[in-house]
Amino acid sequence: MDLCEACRLLIGEPSSKPPHADLSPCGAGMFGTASNPIKVYNQYKCTFCGNWLYQNTADGDPPNEWRMGGAPIDTPNP
């Protein structure tokens, strides 16, 4: 899927930057355990271009940065 300009501009920015207006919050995720997280992030889906963006925390990969990724595993296919 092609990225919209708003998503493209957000990727790689510090995660302290707020999501753009078309990003719909879809939960949070974590790999690892609560006592030893490997990746921690907030999940957003763009209602304009349909891409998934992840707002990483300090325990994310890359840390404290917005990144693009695939749909979460538990997301149903329409």
pLDDT of residue 78: 45
Domain ranges of the chain: 5-69
- CA 51 to each of CA 3, 8, 36, 66: distance values in angstroms, whole numbers, following the listed order: 7, 10, 29, 13
CA distance 29 to 41: 5
- Neighbouring CB atoms inside 10 A of 39's CB total 17
- Averaged over successive runs of 10 residues, the pLDDT of the chain (78 residues) comes to 94 97 92 75 96 92 93 64
Supply the pLDDT for residue 75: 58
pLDDT score for 55: 95
Of 9, 76, 62, nearest to 54 by C-alpha is 62
pLDDT at position 19 is 97
Q: Which two tokens stand for residue 47?
A: 């209602």
